[in-house]
Amino acid sequence: MPAWASDSEVRVDENDGERHTSPRHLLGPSAKDEECRTMTHNVNFQQSIDQSERLVPVNLRQSGDPGIQLLLSNRVRKSPYWHLSVEAGCWKATVYNRMYHPRAYVRPEDGGAMEEYRALVNDVTLWNVAVERPIRVKGPEAEAFCNYVCTRDVTRVPTMMGRYVVLCDEHGRVLNDPVMLRVAEDEFWFTISDSDLAYWFRGVNHGMRFDVEIDEIDVSPLQVQGPKSEDLLADLVGEAVREVPYYGLMAAQIEGADVFISQTGFSGEKGYEVYAHDSTLNAETVWNAILAVGEQYNLMVVAPAHHRRIAAGILSYGQDLDHETNPFQCNLGHMVPKAKEANYIGKEALERTRELVKAGKPPFSHQLVGLKLGGKPIEDYAPDFWLVGPDAGSEPSGWITSPWYSPELGTNIAMAYVPVSSAVLGTELVAWLPDEFLDIPGQPVAAIVCEMPFRESVNPSSRERAKAAGRDYSY
């Protein structure tokens, strides 16, 4: 029996001086472990869950948020927009692609992240997402190279259009899930999620010798998201932006600064991304122009809206998937097209996985699902992967990756990895949440497996479009 499985422990929060009682399985080991060995236990919570198929298991120790301050130093890059985010009120940040990433502007006493959510779904918002760090692949064989590293068929992407893509290793595990933009016949940009794609590309090409150049470039994206985003950008760059299709791209100027504008985003709402060229010089010009025009539309500078992207079924790399996750395991099986004839990295492994999944013998133990959760509203980031299980008296068998409260649905929603046998829609589970979200202290809340997305997006995703066309894959 784990020494840290006692029913509860009282801790003192150094920030507010108040006493809180937390289940010991949420706190993890402490100096009281020896004392705990003599205590009685109602449930034997384990320190982790069987993840023997992974080389590096997901850390499921429930350590909570200790209130540690993020160190700002010059070892981690500040984007060209960093100082502008600070001026806009950023008070919480993380590190993403070795760059500081703003994660909160509105203070909790003023409504916190849910006030930022209100602005997103009702008006329009501006996000600093320079951490997406565009990687450019340019040269006579750029199309061939990109088609070799992407699972989707890059040859089908016309100039000034983009795609959401996944890139896998030779074992079919996801290394990155960026947005790819084809800005010219011989030039592609990858706005990357949180893993170093440039090094991977260079390593691949060291052996393959495609005639391409691979570089990170001085282009920093912003997102303009929300129902009023189109009107704002039309005022800023002209009516032509209204003709840009979903995943389409246009060239424009903002106060003399060159930009690309794509109809893409991380929210599920109507939205665009603005790519400022020579952003080290033009950051203030582009940012301040958007702020000025956005004033009439109630624009608010906010953090990336994880509450809304969860509802839209949009995954977050490093949180909902990582370099040991197979696309068929994390609701991205549609990104492996049956119709792509060309070879690509991971193709053999992914086609083998497809057949095993089809035969009911998936080569993985846990699968990503959507959950609706009971309990009090979750209105901020979870500091741990909270645990789930079949019932209150059983050992945990899975973990929550992304939880939040949905005002539209009136319930907490989440993504979670559960045993494949529990991934069937309608399966009833329980979730062990921290005290502050529990209806009954010490008791897990009810959870039920449900379909993702939880609510419709303004633009259907590639998954939804493929499904509507009667396919289980996208081109």
Residues 167, 200: Cα–Cα separation, whole Å: 10
DSSP at 71 = P
Residues 354, 14: Cα–Cα separation, whole Å: 50
In one-letter notation, the amino acid at residue 440 is: I
Residue 445, beta-bridge partner list: 431
Alpha-helix runs per DSSP H in 333-442: 347-358
Residues 242, 270: Cα–Cα separation, whole Å: 12
Place of tokens 């940009």: 189
Instruction: Classify the phi-psi angles of 63: left when phi > 0, otherwise alpha if psi is within -120 to 50, otherwise beta.
Output: alpha
As a residue count, the chain comes to 475
Question: For residue 323, with 0-12 CB atoms within 10 Å meaning exposed, 13-18 middle and 19 or more buried, which class applies?
Answer: middle
- Within 10 Å of residue 419's Cβ, how many Cβ atoms? 18
Run of H or E residues at 275: strand 271-277
- SS3 for 22? strand
pTM of the full structure:
0.89
Beta strands 125-128 and 300-301, pairing class: parallel
Residue 65, beta-bridge partner list: none
Distance of CA 124 to the CA centre of its chain: 20
Do 285 and 220 form a contact (C-beta atoms < 8 A)?
no
Residues 474, 471: Cα–Cα separation, whole Å: 7
Residues 290, 241: Cα–Cα separation, whole Å: 14
Round the average pLDDT of the chain to a whole number and report it.
91
- What was the pLDDT predicted at 258? 98
Question: For residue 10, with 0-12 CB atoms within 10 Å meaning exposed, 13-18 middle and 19 or more buried, which class applies?
Answer: exposed
- What was the pLDDT predicted at 47? 61
Beta strands 167-168 and 125-128, pairing class: unpaired
Taking alpha carbons only, the member of 133, 146, 69 closest to residue 98 is: 133
Segments in the chain below pLDDT 70: 1-47
CA angle 289, 291, 292 (to 5 degrees): 65
| Helical axes 142-149 vs 197-208, angle rounded to 10° | 110
- What was the pLDDT predicted at 349? 98
Alpha-helix runs per DSSP H in 276-322: 279-294, 306-311
- What was the pLDDT predicted at 7? 37
End-to-end Cα distance, the chain = 50
- Within 10 Å of residue 389's Cβ, how many Cβ atoms? 24
- What was the pLDDT predicted at 46? 53
- SS3 for 114? helix
